[in-house]
Amino acid sequence: MIEVKDLYYTYPTGLEALKGISLTVNDGEFLAVMGQNGAGKTTLVKHFNGLLKPTKGEILVDGVSTRDVSVAQLARNVGFVFQNPDHQLFSETVEEEIVFALRNFGFEKAVIEKQVDWALNLLDVTQYRKTSPFMLSGGERKRVALASILAWDPQVIILDEPTIGQDHQQKEKLQQFILQLNAQKKTVIVVTHDVEFVAECSPRVILMSQGKIVVDGTAKKILTNPKVLAQASIVPPQITQIFLELADLGLPTDVIDVHEATKILLNRLRKRS
């Protein structure tokens, strides 16, 4: 469980990025952190594995204050997948890239071999085992980066903008994969701008603006409220926009899912005919 208590963070340059954040993320929860650029989303999640330490306030991860432990100790339970895979890939082969973290955490050789096989298979990159990560496409590099984090099987997985730069097919796969992780009782925290992605996954959402949490609730509640979304420069998903515009026809205004929308429209059409 991650508990954030009245968190303030000011960068050394004097920029106050977080202003009094309080939040609890329960075990096995799926949370999306949304908001405009510079709202403090990444700054907030960087506190969860101790990369940043609070200027004021406190963060407890499983009851332990992040001030008292190193990033390496926290990272064992809290995996962080950075937005740009090029900020972490450095090894000669994909296999070595995945071994890197396992070695840092002091796993035994037999366990390392087993975990590498498992992670390569999980992200469907086994065929690139002996390839240089620099020779892979953007989507493949992202999968390798993800595999290198999941390899040590952390309980909490933080993904910073996972859908950026991914084609539709990759995005679908990633979405299925994230839902699968959550179904395995992993805590998943996603930082994203992608409303369509959030609408389809339907997690708990916190909306941030200027270093504060504007609203905290279900995806359905937040993504169908254009006024609240506007505070964070976000527009509702396209399907919600259509239903909001057709509200005068008596259609519900809280639809975020395409399948649900299809069902409602089919019912209407059937009734008419």
Partner 1 sequence: MSVFEGFKFRKVSSVVHDLDPRIKFFFVSVLFVMAILFTKLLALTVLFFIPLPFVFMAKVNRQWLRSLRGAAFLAIFIFATNFIFGYFSPASFQGITPPVDTLVEYLVLLERAAAMTLRFVVLIASFSVFFLTTSPDHLGLALQQSRIPYEFCFAFTTAVRFVPVLADEAQTIMDAQKARGLELERGNLLKRVKNYIPILIPLIVNAIRRSLELAESMESRAWGASEKRTNLYELKLKRADYILVLISVLMLLLAVYVWLYVSIPSLTTLLSL
When asked if residue 148 is in the footprint of partner 1 (CB under 8 A), the reply is yes
Task: Give residues with Cβ within 8 angstroms of 86, minimum separation 6.
Answer: 141
How many residues sit in the footprint of partner 1 (CB under 8 A)?
A: 25
Residue with smaller CB distance to partner 1, 90 or 262: 90
Tokens representing 35 are 């908001």
Residue with smaller CB distance to partner 1, 35 or 79: 79
Residue with smaller CB distance to partner 1, 128 or 243: 128
Tell me how far CA of residue 148 lies from CA of 20, 45, 59, 113, 120, in angstroms. Answer: 33, 19, 26, 13, 9
Q: How many CB atoms lie within 10 A of CB 26?
A: 11
When asked if residue 230 is in the footprint of partner 1 (CB under 8 A), the reply is no
Residue with smaller CB distance to partner 1, 72 or 266: 72
Of 71, 122, 164, 179, the one binding partner 1 (CB under 8 A) is 71
The interface mask with partner 1, positions 171-210, x = CB under 8 A, is ----------------------------------------
Of 43, 88, 209, 225, the one binding partner 1 (CB under 8 A) is 88
The interface mask with partner 1, positions 16-55, x = CB under 8 A, is ------------------------------x--x-x----
**Least distance from C-beta 11 to partner 1, angstroms?**
11
- CA-CA distance, 146 to 89, in Å (whole number)? 11
Of 5, 76, 212, 221, the one binding partner 1 (CB under 8 A) is 76
Tell me how far CA of residue 219 lies from CA of 89, 115, 236, in angstroms. Answer: 33, 34, 11
| Closest to 66 (Cα-Cα) out of 38, 40, 41, 45 | 45
Tokens representing 154 are 């952390």
Of 33, 89, 199, 234, the one binding partner 1 (CB under 8 A) is 89
Residues that bind partner 1 (CB under 8 A): 46, 49, 51, 70-72, 75-76, 79-80, 82, 84, 86-90, 100-101, 104-105, 134, 148-149, 152
